[in-house]
Structure 1
């Protein structure tokens, strides 16, 4: 479960968010119409570790790439002092069987190799000309162990929930005192075999 403090607006006073989710939209809203509330997201968890959706993509096609046939099951609620303001249940699914209670995870040193490869391929995708001396800085700003779905072997209509590492890598351009064009690169890696997990 995750909890985030939010501002909730009635439908007629909500800021225009047609172009995605961003706090930047609040500048156009009348904050007097807002109520302070909380957003609760519930997902399946095992041993206290939650499932999460992969939001990244592989920057180079490999045979060790996974995806999921459907989204992570998630129940979301927004609650204010007045009660429940919204409720959604996405990716509703049924657990059919447990394939293995305990699995062996790769040592973290082995996980770093596919992570480095994805960062390297991301840089190659920029297509920087040889004469361009721009320097790019890559920093891993987040590393979290969780679970996510991958397509079940020989059963593409089903999914397996597998342990995975979720990383966020920040790419910046220029020197530390003059950084620009910050880009967040999400990477998800299967913790059992090092395969890259891409968003569905």
Structure 2
């Protein structure tokens, strides 16, 4: 019964997409629906697509809404932020499993705390997820994405596992990408954002 409801909900979302109706900007006319925060509306739509096994639909909703979480004009409560965090973590893990590292990185860059400078969330808590992505990229020899992930992590003060950073520098050196290897090495020396394990 629940699955049938989710499928119906997905069909409605597909129809809105086909008609190019920006449903995340719309508000209900009656009751509590007209007070629903935009973040909550987006979360529900993303969750429907994920439960139906459609990552493409989920990321479409997020991109269409500009990955919005909390703004002055569209405030949301802590539960919505937590829900968005959980949805994005689920999506990133699925993308990593499918070896879609670019998509996983895009999702991770939009976790709560990265959107605007007024966010007070401690983004170092995302270290495990980013290091998981970095490890998978290195295993698959995706050096360009690996370098970009490390640069982002160092910029945002997210701790990088020392052994992963060392593996990246070594691989870049062996691939004759000396400039990149040197840049990461210097970053490692000047940064305390490395996990020593």
TM range (shorter): under 0.3
Larger helix proportion, structure 1 or 2?
Answer: 2
* TM-score of the two chains, using structure 1 as the length reference: 0.21
TM-score, reference length from structure 2: 0.22
